[in-house]
Amino acid sequence: MRGVLLLVIASLLDSLNFGDYPLISFDVLYLIAFSIPLSFGFHQLKLLPQVVIVTLIIMITPLLQKLLGYTDIPIDIPIFPEKERSIDLIAEIPTIFKHWLIDGWFPLFPWLSFSFIGVILAACAKNFLVL
């Protein structure tokens, strides 16, 4: 539920504050909104699979960026574009998906690994405090 509420807030910020379609630019609020439920599922795994997943995310990131190309500034698609700037939202779906995965400031790869590392560290701290 927290992830959904944060996703709604991030979408409203994009729409009302910046005038862009929501879920286009993948900023930190979207990353946190997606990482909350994913971290819950990740928490259910044993330590070895957790370490393998984190390692794979970190190692796959540069490969994905090399394979798909990296764009440092994601596109923004305004809800009310200027007349000379017409963008087909449906045609941009592959680009938007790529932004979510590897482009811009806070894509899932590699930043999701930091949420997962936090889950591992929290479990280690919990076990340490129990001792």
- Position 21 pLDDT exceeds 60: yes
Q: Which position has the higher pLDDT, 82 or 99?
A: 99
- Position 131 pLDDT exceeds 60: no
Query: CA gyration radius for the chain?
Result: 17
Mean pLDDT of the chain: 87
Q: Which position has the higher pLDDT, 46 or 72?
A: 46
pLDDT value of position 52: 97
Give the tokens for residue 72: 């440092």
At residue 104 the predicted structure's pLDDT band, cuts being 50, 70 and 90, is confident
Percent of the chain with pLDDT over 90: 46
SS3 category, 130: helix
Residue type at 40?
Answer: F
How many domains, the chain? Answer: 1
- Position 37 pLDDT exceeds 90: yes
At residue 27 the predicted structure's pLDDT band, cuts being 50, 70 and 90, is confident
Give the tokens for residue 24: 């286009």
Which structural domain, as residue segments, surrounds residue 14?
2-130
Task: Please give the model's pTM, rounded to 2 decimal places.
Answer: 0.80
- Position 77 pLDDT exceeds 80: no
**CB burial class (10 A; 0-12, 13-18, 19+) of residue 100?**
buried
Q: Peptide bond preceding 37: is omega within 30 degrees of 0, i.e. cis? A: no
| Residue 95 CB contacts under 8 Å (≥ 6 apart), including other chains | 75
